[in-house]
Amino acid sequence: MRTRRGLCYPEPVLGSTEMCSSDYGIHKRKKKDMHHHHFNNKESIFVTNKKQKKFKNKASTEEYDFFESLHDDLVISIFTKLSSTSTSPSDFVNVLITCKRLKSLALHSLVLSKASSRMFSVKAKNWCESAHRFLKQCADSGNVDACYTLGMIRFYCLKNRASGASLMAKAAMNSHAPALYSLAVIQFNGSGGTKNDKDLRAGVALCARAAFLGHVDALRELGHCLQDGYGVRQNIVEGRRFLVQANARELAAVLSTPETAAARQWYWSFNPRLGHLGCPLLSDFGCNVPAPEAHPASRFMLEWFSVNGGSPGSGLRLCSHAGCGRPETRNHEFRRCSVCGAVNYCSRACQALDWKFRHKAECAPVDRWLEEEGEEVDGDGDVVMVVDS
């Protein structure tokens, strides 16, 4: 009988049972350790992911720009309010240099169309091609103040008569009172042409339109035209009424400023020439009145010609009124004072204002002033009568 010995069965090895049991125990412990290690890994991964997520949320909160979430329409609305209330170009330039998005939105046509005249009141010494381009962009956006300002600069400073008159006409068609009055002055003087290009009736019509819109200088000019019969049938009573209305609007404009108390004290101050309290409604007749603020276009022209030697050209003169700045476009275009001949004015309104503020104390008769510098009485240089009314 064969037993389990021989070549077909290997001999048993001592300690085999222990080895099997130990191997099983090792395998079991190894499996348990692996399971425990896997659980620890999962827990550590979960903790790590939680920390990373928390850090990511914290980082995203810190880096998030709330301005980027604002809609373009809301930003444009804010810039429109800013441009309409700006008191200097720097208020708007600070926005343009912030970032590309703000610059593109700030140059939107709606923002530029509502810009105030002070926003693009560039100084003559800082005039450059970029300033010219910005004014042109504002004018193209439909800003009537920009059309008027650029038109005055082109017509009088850059001597581009056709383009300047076209821009002023564009503003005038949108009922811009200063543009209507400036076109009236051009018609009265024949500026940019010859003496034969004067059109007094057209000047009176434009002046009447500006006066209807409440322009103080136009009211004053129309009043003097009616009193003198210049371009219209003479009507002294109606002319006087326009002068009173001009001074009433002048009073209302000054009293509406923050310095109302100081302005009222100025108005009702004692007038030595009249010997009593001057009437604030009759500043053309002797009452003390503070000078009105000049338009940015007028300030630019004054600075422009002062930078360029104080003269618009050979034999040409500036209007003697300090707040005007208009130059002659040909020799003897403006009217001279009929007493001294030392001053000249582009309009009767400028003559009345300068007489009241300055020239009254300086005017003195000079003999044969019309013959000075080869001028003739019947030449292009008219004379303007100096009167208190």
- Rounded CA-CA distance 95/372 in Å is 55
Per this entry, what is the length of the chain? 389
Q: Which token pair is 232?
A: 């219209």
SS3 sequence, the chain?
A: CCCCCCCCCCCCCCCHHHHHHHHHHHHHHHHHHHHHHHHHHHHHHHHHHHHHHHHHHHHHHHHCCHHHHCCHHHHHHHHHHHHHHCCCHHHHHHHHCCCHHHHHHHCCHHHHHCCCCCCCCCCHHHCCHHHHHHHHHHHHCCCHHHHHHHHHHHHHHCCCHHHHHHHHHHHHHCCCHHHHHHHHHHHHHCCCCCHHHCCHHHHHHHHHHHHHCCCHHHHHHHHHHHHHCCCCCCCHHHHHHHHHHHHHHHHHHHHCCCCHHHHHHHHCCEECCCCEECCCCCHHHCCCCCCCCCCHHHHHHHHHHHHCCCCCCCCCCECCCCCCCCECCCCCCCEEECCCCCCEECCHHHHHHHHHHHHHHHCCCCCCHHHHHHCCCCCCCCEECCCCC
Task: Enter the pTM of the model.
Answer: 0.72
Longest Cα–Cα distance in the chain: 170
State the sign of the Cα–Cα–Cα–Cα dihedral 331, 382, 181, 285: positive
> Token match 């500043």: residue?
283
Q: What is the pLDDT along the chain (389 residues), one digit of tens a residue?
A: 455 555 555 555 544 444 444 454 544 455 555 545 554 554 554 445 555 555 455 455 556 566 677 788 888 888 888 888 888 888 788 888 888 888 888 888 998 999 888 888 888 888 889 889 999 999 999 999 999 999 999 999 999 999 999 999 999 999 999 999 999 999 999 998 888 889 999 999 999 999 999 999 999 999 999 998 988 999 999 999 999 888 888 877 777 766 544 545 544 444 444 444 444 444 555 455 566 778 889 999 999 988 877 677 788 889 988 888 899 999 889 988 888 878 889 998 888 888 877 888 888 776 655 455 444 333 344 545 444 44
